[in-house]
Amino acid sequence: MIPRRVVITGVSVGCALGFTPDEFWKRLLAGECGISRVPGVTDDSPLPTKIAGVIPDTALDAACARHGVDDPDRANRLALFAVADALTNAGLADAGGELPHDLIFGTGHGNGAFQNASVEAYVGGGYRKLRPTSIIRAMLNRPANAASIRHRLTGVSFTVSCACATGSIAVMEAFFRVRFGIAEAAVAACADHGIDLITFSAWNRLGVLSRNPDPATASRPFDARRDGLVMGEGCAGFVLEPLEVAQARGAHVWAEILGVGSSCDARRIGQPDKTGQAKAVRAALSMAGVAPADVDYVNAHGTATEIADIVEASTIEEVFGLESDRVPVSNTKAQLGHLMGATAGVELVATLLAMRHQRLPPCRNLEEPDPRCRLNFVRAGPQAARVEVALKNSFAFGGTNCAIVLRRG
């Protein structure tokens, strides 16, 4: 089996900073913050954290209207938008008939808001208060199957769930299927909405959320004054094709995926491990045939939790050696929040945009870098840079690690 070169020909994004790549990029570089008060959480709420990267209802409604998405559930609407907009961006939405594409969909929470509402309905009124469609609406694979039916995607259709590495894992799975000829082409998409009141309350109980009440300054990846992550919601989608297929149909190429790497720390659910992370990054670089000296930019995971930022910085230092003083590193969670199952996908879009525009998004709120995180952070503002090769890191609860190496299209 001869490996094929795999390129990204379609991209979609949805988050608190917009529902097109251009809008997202403009607002990201302008330093806007999409973090705000969670709907339904009042000033007198006992929740220690009351803010998240919430998408305005009007923005989500308008985005879904572009593709006729009318699903009743917010998580599923995000997912269906991500697939539809990625196909549109790739010039495949009006292809007509069937598309032989696989669809690999990723989510962390699934349709948790609906499941929580169903439990409340049952407790309040019993069996007959449950909707007849409850099982179908709650299935973790419903968005993948619904999108496949909607767009006549006749390849495989399944769901992956790997906490905050989910988006990268979905792209990796799609990459392998296209690279080795298992699929003619593939769509990788991810979406997550984990800020319904019950799920958001559970995250508050876990104790990893920032208690800074100021939305503009709460999320501070790698900063000495960070005190936890800020949640968010969002989605992203990608169309992957063999290079020769993309060239034959005259498709725009965002980037080529040179290599991917993954691993599991296999240690503790909530505590990251440098050995596992380094293994994933080295595997991606090795597959790509790229040395640390060849990497022009690293888009970091950067959760803003005490231990995770230190471990990730140490991983980059170990893998890059002396190059860690040179290679620029940035992260976008201070502006978006941590989008859980969608975070890797949205951050991958930011990486692709950095390569397209040859500009690096800065680390908002990184005013006093933790001295234990000794990296070349992009801080003062957007930075012009030559970005031909980029690395995207994703490190998740459960110890799932994934790294993706990209070359500019």
Supply the residues annotated as catalytic.
164, 301, 338
Pairing of strands 51-52, 186-192: unpaired
Neighbouring residues of 362: CB distance < 8 A, sequence distance ≥ 6: 31, 330, 378, 379, 380, 381, 382, 383
Structure tokens at 289: 């045939």
Contact 378, 368 (CB under 8 A): no
Half-sphere exposure of 408 toward its Cβ, with a 13 Å CA cutoff?
16
Other Cβ atoms closer than 10 A to 365: 23
Q: Which residues contact 267 (CB under 8 A, 6 or more apart)?
A: 273, 276, 399
25 φ, ψ to 5°? Answer: -65, -45
Amino acid at 342: A
**Owner of token pair 């998405």:** 69
- Give me the residue label for tokens 């201070």: 334
The closest of 95, 365, 391, 388 to 219, measured between CA atoms, is 365
Amino acid at 182: I
